[in-house]
């Protein structure tokens, strides 16, 4: 994978939707480095490796790493301080 | 937002290729039948997973080209040099082949036919695919929302859906289609060849900024450039929805 070969957050939305059981491309992610908030769909996603990496479009911080194994979805989110996920009324 | 197509559990579903249509020399549309498909909204994505005989699996995300239509999901795939899946799907895939689809996904870059807001669509190359789903949905639903498509392509040979776009625009009903040729234009084209520029936006007939919404899809550099032009043209950034794909697609 070379620098710059990213796609947008929708490329990761399928794996996330499987994990969260809901649509998360409209989730608002706050970056753990620069503190700016934006939709997950606007993250820069690098998907040419064994897993996915989603970076902040402003500062490049890794906001999320995701790997799908045969039985689980692993998420590593320490580069983001919050995820606000739209939820239908309970 | 309509929740029906965006809040359902998402998992892999078996799919079968129903039909393959050649679009251009490097692009084809593959229609899948997906039993149990929950329906989708124009602009959404789907992940495709293929499994080789030796068990090797590869998956990629693609925009859906078709409007909601039962269990049918159509993707338009462009062959790209390093695209593992796109190369296979463009060269080898044929009716009857099996795959798995996961989706639909995406809740932001979508258009619902009950919306009446004027819409500007701006496509760069194969970025026209999810915008075509919106135009097809608009026609299918009989929407009269004013729509304008600016479609930037290198030359007429690589323009997708040219005949269908012509027909949709001729039907009237508030749709305006402009092809912007960046390298070579057909004879008789008055617009000088070149990348999209401010004049192109001014010519759409849609009100500058104000109430309009814009959807922009294409290579990253194209999307960034158009987002800048739209801001200069008075569009509120919150009314500009963008979707980038990488320089190679996939």
In contact, A62 and A49? CB cutoff 8 Å? no
Segment among A25-34, A44-53, B128-137 with least mean pLDDT: A44-53
User: B4 vs chain A: nearest CA distance in angstroms?
Assistant: 11
Residue B217 has pLDDT above 50, yes or no: yes
Please state the domain extents for chain A. Answer: 7-82
**With contacts defined as CB-CB under 8 Å, which chain A residues touch B105?**
10, 13-14, 17, 23, 25
Yes or no, beta carbons of A25 and B220 under 8 Å apart: no
Please state the domain extents for chain B. Answer: 12-105, 119-244
What is the ipTM metric for this complex? 0.71
Domain B119-244 indexed as CATH 3.40.47.10: no
pLDDT at position B221: 87
pTM of the model: 0.87
b/e burial code for range B161-196 (CB count within 10 A of at least 16 → b): bbeebeebbeeeeebbbbbbbbeebeeeeeeeeeeb
pLDDT at position B248: 40
- Closest residue on chain B to A39 (Cα): B108
Yes or no, beta carbons of A13 and B3 under 8 Å apart: no
* Cis-peptide, bond into residue B104, ω within 30° of zero: yes
pLDDT at position B9: 67
pLDDT at position B4: 45
Yes or no, beta carbons of A88 and B3 under 8 Å apart: yes
pLDDT at position B101: 97
d(C-alpha A3, C-alpha A63), whole Å: 17
d(C-alpha B93, C-alpha B95), whole Å: 7
In contact, A81 and A35? CB cutoff 8 Å? yes
Residue B246 has pLDDT above 70, yes or no: no
Fold of B12-105: Elongation Factor Tu (Ef-tu); domain 3 (2.40.30)
d(C-alpha B141, C-alpha A90), whole Å: 31
- CB atoms under 10 Å from CB of A68, counted, come to 16
| B23-78 residue pLDDT tens | 999 999 999 999 999 999 999 999 999 998 899 888 888 999 999 999 999 999 99
Residue B218 has pLDDT above 80, yes or no: yes
**With contacts defined as CB-CB under 8 Å, which chain A residues touch B222?**
none
d(C-alpha B20, C-alpha B97), whole Å: 11
Q: What is the mean pLDDT of chain B?
A: 89
**DSSP characters over A25-80:** TT-EEEETTT--EEEGGGSEEE-SSSSEEEE-TTT--EEEEEEE-SS-EEEE-TTE
Q: Which two tokens stand for residue B238?
A: 């919150």
């Amino acid at each position: 994978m070379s620098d710059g070969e990213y796609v947008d957050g929708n490329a990761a939305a399928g794996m996330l939707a499987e994990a969260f059981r809901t649509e998360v491309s409209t989730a608002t992610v706050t970056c753990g480095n620069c503190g700016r908030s934006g939709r997950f769909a606007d993250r820069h996603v690098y998907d040419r490796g064994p897993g996915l990496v989603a970076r902040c479009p402003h500062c490049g911080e890794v906001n999320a790493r995701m790997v799908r194994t045969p039985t689980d979805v692993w998420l590593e989110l320490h580069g983001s301080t919050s995820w606000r996920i739209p939820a239908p009324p309970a | 937002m309509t929740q029906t197509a965006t809040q359902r559990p998402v998992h892999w579903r078996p799919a079968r290729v129903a039909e393959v249509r050649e679009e251009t020399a490097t692009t084809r549309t593959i229609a899948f039948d997906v039993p149990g498909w929950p329906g989708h909204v124009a602009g959404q994505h789907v992940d495709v997973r293929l499994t080789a005989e030796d068990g090797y699996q590869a998956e990629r995300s693609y925009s859906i080209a078709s409007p909601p239509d039962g269990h049918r999901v159509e993707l338009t795939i462009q062959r790209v040099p390093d695209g593992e899946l796109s190369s296979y799907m463009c060269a080898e895939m044929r009716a009857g082949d099996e795959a798995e689809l996961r989706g639909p996904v995406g809740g932001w870059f979508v258009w619902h036919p009950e919306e009446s807001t004027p819409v500007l669509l701006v496509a760069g190359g194969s970025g026209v695919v999810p915008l075509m789903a919106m135009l097809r949905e608009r026609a299918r639903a009989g929407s009269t929302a004013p729509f304008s498509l600016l479609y930037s392509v290198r030359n007429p040979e690589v323009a997708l859906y040219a005949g269908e776009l012509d027909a949709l625009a001729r039907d009237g009903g508030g749709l305006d289609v402009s092809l912007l040729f960046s390298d070579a234009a057909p004879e008789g084209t008055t617009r000088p060849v070149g990348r999209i520029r401010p004049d192109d936006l001014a010519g759409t007939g849609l009100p500058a900024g104000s109430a309009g919404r814009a959807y922009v899809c294409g290579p990253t550099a194209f999307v960034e450039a158009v987002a800048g032009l739209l801001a200069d043209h008075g569009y509120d950034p919150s009314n500009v929805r963008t979707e980038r794909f990488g320089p190679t697609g996939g």
